[in-house]
Amino acid sequence: MAVEQGLDAKRIQELDRQYVLHSWSVQNQISPLAVAGGEGRYFWDHEGNRYLDFASQLVNVSIGHQHPKIVAAIKEQADKLTTIGPPMAHEARSELAQLLAEVTPGDLTMSFFTNGGAEANENAIKLARWYTGRDKIVARYRSYHGATAGAITLTGDPRRWPAEPGIPGVVRMLDPYTYRCPAGHPDPCPVCTGGPHLEEILQYEGPQNVAAVILETIVGTNGIIVPPDGYLQSIREVCDRHGILLICDEVMAGFGRSGKWFACEHWDVVPDILTLAKGINSGYVPLGAMVIGEKIADWVRDKYFAGGRGTRRSARCGAKGSSGASSSCATARRASRSSPSTRPARRLPRLRGSQRQRWSAAST
Ligand SMILES: Cc1ncc(COP(=O)(O)O)c(C=O)c1O
């Protein structure tokens, strides 16, 4: 089949309707806009109409469209090496992992790179199960954790329904939604304060059977729910009491979106596992990460780590890399240093002097 060049908007839409399957949509009820280009906070169509990208596409283009430093990083890395296998070490991946260890809170130090957020969450629950030797995962209703089999089971919103029954062992707790509290919000509300509600769920599930609690630190697509002060700390305390790991999914809330590098820092809580994607490189190429604390890192060092993710997929842009592939890591390394929203030097009190200088020099 001959590929047409220089298509107009009408033809792009015709081809789209015929050949493209769009996620979370009734195909014949959508009319996707044909986008011709973008720059900074704007993108435009083929008629030259410019749109202010309030949605930041998938709430991921934190750094804006076509940031010259990231585009340059893609080109530079594509010229040198477009992919690298998991058993190898590579400058971009090694340095990105070090940068993540510097900016993530507490003792979060070791990163496993993936193609995106769903794979980061898949690996987080697998690792939590191996580490604890327990099966169950507590997840919340107003949540989205990704579209792969395990991640969509963790997801509490109706996008989960068509994928059910999903993976076994996922149990649910309610959300701290103080505006429409599921418990009617008496004061103090056992749900919105976190700890008492989780304790009750654990009574029914058996805390000795629960490997992890996974939550979006600030709920994203299910309503931008900011937990009340004290909530996250109380969840952390209950987890600690029962040897349960806390996984914070900051795929959406991370990388400066809440005003700090990571949302859990607002409440001084350090999760055992932090999952990331989106803002890590603004989605220019696929990349996610699972960052683990020292306790789990030390444990896993002499174990066979059976974590995995998709391998490289080629893409028309030519620079699309796989999980932790050289080009993906190169973009994230550059993005970490270029984000105007994260102003590294001001927001990194725990960095030592030399590290601070490195970040501030790189971000200007
Ligand atoms: C909180 C959260 N977790 C996980 C995901 C899944 O990430 P990905 O689409 O990169 O697999 C998303 C995506 O929107 C998300 O918002």
pLDDT tens per residue, range 158-184: 999 999 999 999 999 999 999 888 888
Residue 254 in contact with ligand 1 by CB distance below 6 A: no
How close is the Cα of 174 to the center of ligand 1, in Å?
A: 20
Rounded percentage of the chain residues whose pLDDT exceeds 90: 78
Say if 63 falls within a structural domain: no
The Cα–Cα gap between 58 and 69 comes to 21
How close is the Cα of 145 to the center of ligand 1, in Å?
A: 5
Residue indicated by tokens 């990163």: 111
Mutational test site, ligand 1, from 257, 278, 280, 328, max ligand atoms within 8 Å of CB: 278
Domain that holds residue 129: 68-362
Q: Which residue has its alpha carbon closest to ligand 1 atom 3?
A: 145
- Number of domains, the chain: 2
Q: What is the DSSP letter of 4?
A: P
Q: Among the atoms of ligand 1, which is closest to the Cα of residue 117? A: 7
Residue 231 in contact with ligand 1 by CB distance below 6 A: no
Residue 118 in contact with ligand 1 by CB distance below 6 A: yes
Say whether both 165 and 29 belong to one domain: no
Say whether both 24 and 161 belong to one domain: no
Say whether both 148 and 17 belong to one domain: no
Residue 321 in contact with ligand 1 by CB distance below 6 A: no
Say if 160 falls within a structural domain: yes
Q: Among the atoms of ligand 1, which is closest to the Cα of residue 146? A: 6
Say whether both 158 and 224 belong to one domain: yes
* Mean of pLDDT over the chain: 89
Alpha helices in 89-146 (DSSP H): 91-103, 117-132
Say if 61 falls within a structural domain: no
> Is the pLDDT at 363 greater than 60, yes or no?
no
Say whether both 49 and 177 belong to one domain: no
pLDDT of residue 181: 87
> Is the pLDDT at 348 greater than 90, yes or no?
no
Residue 219 in contact with ligand 1 by CB distance below 6 A: no
> Is the pLDDT at 360 greater than 50, yes or no?
no
Query: Which of the four pLDDT bands, split at 50, 70 and 90, describes residue 187?
Result: confident
Say whether both 32 and 153 belong to one domain: no
Say if 163 falls within a structural domain: yes
Residue 144 in contact with ligand 1 by CB distance below 6 A: yes
Say if 62 falls within a structural domain: no
The first and second tokens of residue 183, run together, are 């418990």
Q: Among the atoms of ligand 1, which is closest to the Cα of residue 118? A: 11
Contact yes or no for 100/262 (Cβ under 8 A): no
Contact yes or no for 95/102 (Cβ under 8 A): no
pLDDT tens per residue, range 118-139: 999 999 999 999 999 999 999 9
How close is the Cα of 252 to the center of ligand 1, in Å?
A: 7
Say whether both 75 and 124 belong to one domain: yes
Alpha helices in the chain (DSSP H): 9-19, 56-59, 68-80, 91-103, 117-132, 149-154, 195-205, 231-242, 294-300, 326-338, 353-363
Rounded percentage of the chain residues whose pLDDT exceeds 70: 86
pLDDT tens per residue, range 197-220: 999 999 999 999 999 999 999 999
Contact yes or no for 123/309 (Cβ under 8 A): yes
- Would the pTM of this model clear 0.75, i.e. be above it? yes
Say if 357 falls within a structural domain: yes
Q: Among residues 17, 32, 54, which one ends one of the domains?
A: 54
Say whether both 244 and 346 belong to one domain: yes
Residue 216 in contact with ligand 1 by CB distance below 6 A: yes
